[in-house]
Structure 1
Amino acid sequence: MIAALYLAYLLWLAAGWADFRCHRHTDLAHTSGLRESSLHLLQLALIGGGTILALTFELGRAPVLALAALVAAHAWVGYRDTCSAYGRRDLRPIEQHLHSVLDAAPVAAWTIAALAYAADDGGWDWRLRRPPLAPAGWLAVLAPALLLCVWPALREFRSAWRARPAAARPERTRAG
């Protein structure tokens, strides 16, 4: 079961990587630009926060509720992301399909976490995992995310920052 969940996680990350490739192909930096790229970073922060939470704490009512809030916020930001891009950039069918995977995966992961919690009521306490997740577990979860999603998102933001209109750039002044 764990191997299947991990494979699904890697496929979700691969969908994220493919989505960033779509953004690059449709020249996000010069179309929807910083606004859309900033929303991508916010989505990554929300899901990244949920991932860290799930790796750090035992599941109980409070952590599962916090995960639900993060998943809901991710979905709302994802909607705003699509609204931001619509009409500014070509949203191709493959990208829309990738978005459906990227939107559904956090809900599915939360459902699995909630079902696991239902089997073992951890109460409302925030309890650290005992024993803590081994460093190899952290690496197995975070390294692919950093490589497949965080790095492309940062590159995308840098490209959008460099391509922002001259009117949005701060004036450079010389001292003295």
Structure 2
Amino acid sequence: MDFVLHRASSIETTSGLSESRLHLVQIWILGLATILWLCFRASPALLTILLILVCSHAVTGYWDTRVAYPTRAIRPVEQHVHSILDIAPWVAVGAVYWFMPDRHMGAALTFEPAPLAMWLFAIVPALLLTVFPALVEFRRCLSFRAL
């Protein structure tokens, strides 16, 4: 939805590459968090790393808004979509915490990849609904800049 709103507001003619790059950074941060979640068993160590990544995502999201705000109007519907995008990673980290084993665990990460179905469930929608639209947006911004 966010990329549809960016297209409607003609992001390529306003904040352009600056904002679009930040979208790719945010996606990369959460993509890394997702890969780590899929590769390692829930533990205090994983939770700590995920919290750092989610905080990084939040800071980058704030930076993204600071870049966009002076150059284009951020309509209420887009602000609402951003609210959902801001809170979703925190909810995901809460879910990791919720599923941490009750028994005492060491601080080390334990490599325990999730089943293939879980990888597909997490990665395929992310690619189709987030990565691909972000790359299309970035290409649009890059093409406009080249004109």
Question: 1:155 is matched with which residue?
Answer: 136
Partner of 2:120: 139
Question: Tell me, which stretches of 5 or more residues in structure 1 are unaligned?
Answer: 1-17, 167-176
Partner of 1:88: 71
Q: Displacement, 1:78? A: 0.3
TM, length-normalised to structure 2:
0.94
- CA deviations on 1:29-63 (whole Å, 9 max, x unpaired) are 11100000000000000001000000100111211
- SS class of match (2:73): coil
The answer on 1:59 being equivalent to 2:52 is no
Provide TM-score, normalisation by structure 1.
0.79
- The 3 A distance-change label for structure 1 pair 29 and 149 is same
Aligned residues: 147
- Pairwise CA distance, 1:165: 6.0
- What is the aligned partner in structure 2 of residue 25 from structure 1? 8
Check 1:41–1:120 CA distance in 2 against 1; reply closer, same or farther (3 A cut).
farther
- 1:89 positional shift: 1.2
- Higher RCO structure, 1 or 2 (CA under 8 Å, sep 6+): 2
Contact kept in structure 1, 2:42 and 2:101, CA below 8 Å: no
Q: How large is the RMSD of aligned CA atoms in angstroms? A: 1.4
Computing the radius of gyration from Cα coordinates, the structure with the larger value is 1
- Cα 1:86/1:68, change in 2 over 3 Å: same
Assess if the C-alpha contact under 8 Å between 1:68 and 1:110 holds in 2.
yes
Instruction: Say whether 1:128 aligns with 2:128.
Output: no
- Structure 2 unaligned regions, length at least 5: none
Q: Distance in 2 between matches of 1:53 and 1:126?
A: 10
